[in-house]
Amino acid sequence: MTHTSDSNRPAGSNKAIVLRAAGINCDGETVRALEMAGATAELVHLERVLQEPARLEDCSLLVLPGGFSYGDDIAAGRVFGFEMRQGLSRELAAFVARGGYVLGVCNGFQVLCEAGLLSGALLPNTSLRFVCRQVELDVVNASTAWTSACGVGDRLSIPAKHTTGRYWAPDPVLDELEANNQVVLRYAPGENFNGSARDIAGVCNAAGNVVGLMPHPEHAVDPLTGSVDGLKLFESVVPALA
């Protein structure tokens, strides 16, 4: 599986939309990471996109950042995912089908699963506690647009911070993800602190243009934070937009 071809990629430039809603708190850092990688990023509220869904036609990249959207009411990411499913289902399906790139980080990953754009679900950590720590990740699939600057087996040091980050899916679904090379990132040996099935930290859709992960690459783009490994994900996708 490889990332979407140029012929299917949406028309436009390297413009990215970072989608925010009440409770999202990593939007500014995500915009900065995209701009550091060379993209033109615009911060847009979900309500604006619900009112003007044609905005998705003017960008090639959509990022759902981390946070606690709508206070994680009912369940983490569920309200945000419901709003997307109800108000943007047709437009999102068209955006993905024509090759638009989508990234969901932490709460954004939860939203993508709730909206049905990615398989599986994020459940409470086995510790039932909020955990904030640096984690080591192994790149499993380097053929997605989000990991093309990496190699299979590369080790990335990226922070994670969540209470509901335990990736889960039924065994037949996990087997299918494995067989289709849809597992993008795994927690390195000894690093799976939340109990995720098969050490999965990030997955993609069958086409490879929609990726979700729990750790926060936007918080690992500056040497002052101790790691710039997260920047590789953003540097991977921007050349694909050019």
List active site positions. Answer: 106, 216, 218
> Which burial class, exposed, middle or buried, applies to 176 when counting CB atoms under 10 A from its CB (0-12, 13-18, 19+)?
middle
Query: Whole-angstrom Cα distance, residue 189 to residue 43?
Result: 36
Tell me the backbone φ, ψ of residue 173, rounded to 5 degrees: -70, -40
Are 156 and 232 contacting, i.e. CB atoms less than 8 angstroms apart?
yes
Sign of CA dihedral 135, 136, 141, 147: positive
Distance of CA 2 to the CA centre of its chain: 17
Query: Whole-angstrom Cα distance, residue 21 to residue 163?
Result: 19
Are 213 and 159 contacting, i.e. CB atoms less than 8 angstroms apart?
no
Indicate the SS3 state at residue 31: helix
